């Protein structure tokens, strides 16, 4: 496989940054301690990665202070230092595990809270739908009861009108004198629907439906309708051209001023 690197690339087609092969000569540089970090897994570096780098530096500095294994005392001292460092690392790992567990616990609490909220919303929606269905059924039953009640009342009224069961002839004069009778206001339940074919009463004229018809209709109107003439009112008091009130109207003007 041949690795390639380009100077110009599109952001949507961005791949992992190119890492060339290397050969270590002499001591291992500090930069190689970050070789395990890759793009998306530690890079770009955040606070956790910076803390890890600092701990690695401290550990390298601690390793440099370890005594040589040339005597029994140095070996015991080295073992003691390594035991202390191991306990320190285990304590740090326990802290990291506790932090991770707390983060997972908070995430689990958030997921449970969202699940409870969604379940409550779903239950509320189901309850509302159930209540709406019951309300519709209730309204339909009430309407049916009202219709049945009106029907029974009409039947009872009709029976009471003719208790003896005698046949009555139609009184045309009474029907035409009563404006609430079937002649003037027929009922729909008897088979008559007064609103049917109501469009036949709509006025349809070319003079009202088109602009040319309106212009022609306006032209046919007389002048006294389209051209209004307003005459200025005459003064109540007889005055001359110079504005002098005549003696015959002076008394009326004086009385009008006194009245005001």
Return averaged pLDDT per consecutive 10 residues of the chain, 260 residues in all: 59 62 75 74 76 82 80 83 87 90 94 95 94 95 94 86 74 86 78 71 82 88 80 64 68 75
CA distance 63 to 55: 12
DSSP-derived 3-state class of residue 118: helix
pLDDT score of 126: 94
CA–CA dist 8, 20 (Å, integer): 18
Q: What is the pTM of this model?
A: 0.39
Helix (H, G, I), strand (E, B) or coil at 157: helix
Give the span between the Cα atoms of 65 and 81, in whole angstroms. 10
> For residue 72, what pLDDT is reported?
82
Amino acid 190: pLDDT = 72
- What pLDDT, on a 0 to 100 scale, did the predictor assign at position 125? 94
For the chain, the farthest-separated pair of C-alpha atoms sits apart, in whole angstroms, at 152
- Report pLDDT for 85: 85
Say if residues 248 and 238 touch (Cβ distance below 8 Å).
yes
Q: How far apart are CA 5 and CA 17, in angstroms?
A: 9
């Amino acid at each position: 496989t041949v690795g390639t690197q380009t100077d110009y690339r599109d952001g949507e087609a961005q791949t992992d940054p190119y890492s060339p092969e290397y050969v270590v000569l002499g001591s291992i540089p500090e930069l190689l301690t970050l070789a395990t970090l890759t793009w998306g897994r530690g890079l770009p570096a955040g606070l956790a990665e910076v803390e890890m780098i600092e701990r690695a530096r401290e550990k390298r500095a601690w390793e440099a202070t370890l005594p040589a294994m040339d005597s029994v005392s140095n070996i015991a001292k080295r073992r003691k230092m390594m035991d202390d460092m191991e306990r320190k690392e285990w304590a740090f790992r326990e802290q990291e595990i506790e932090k991770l567990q707390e983060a997972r616990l908070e995430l689990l609490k958030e997921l449970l809270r969202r699940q409870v909220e969604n379940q409550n919303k779903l239950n509320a929606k189901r309850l509302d739908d159930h209540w709406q269905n019951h309300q519709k059924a209730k309204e339909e039953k009430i309407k049916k009861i009202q219709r049945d009640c009106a029907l029974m009342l009409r039947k009872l009224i009709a029976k009471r009108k003719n208790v003896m069961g005698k046949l009555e002839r139609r009184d045309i004069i009474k029907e035409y004198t009563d404006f609430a009778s079937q002649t003037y206001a027929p009922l729909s339940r008897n088979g008559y629907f007064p609103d049917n074919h109501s469009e036949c009463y709509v006025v349809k004229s070319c003079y009202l439906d088109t602009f040319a018809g309106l212009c022609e209709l306006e032209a046919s109107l007389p002048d006294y309708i389209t051209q209004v003439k307003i005459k200025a009112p005459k003064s109540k008091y007889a005055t001359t051209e110079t504005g002098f009130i005549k003696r015959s109207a002076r008394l009326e003007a004086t009385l009008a001023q006194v009245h005001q």
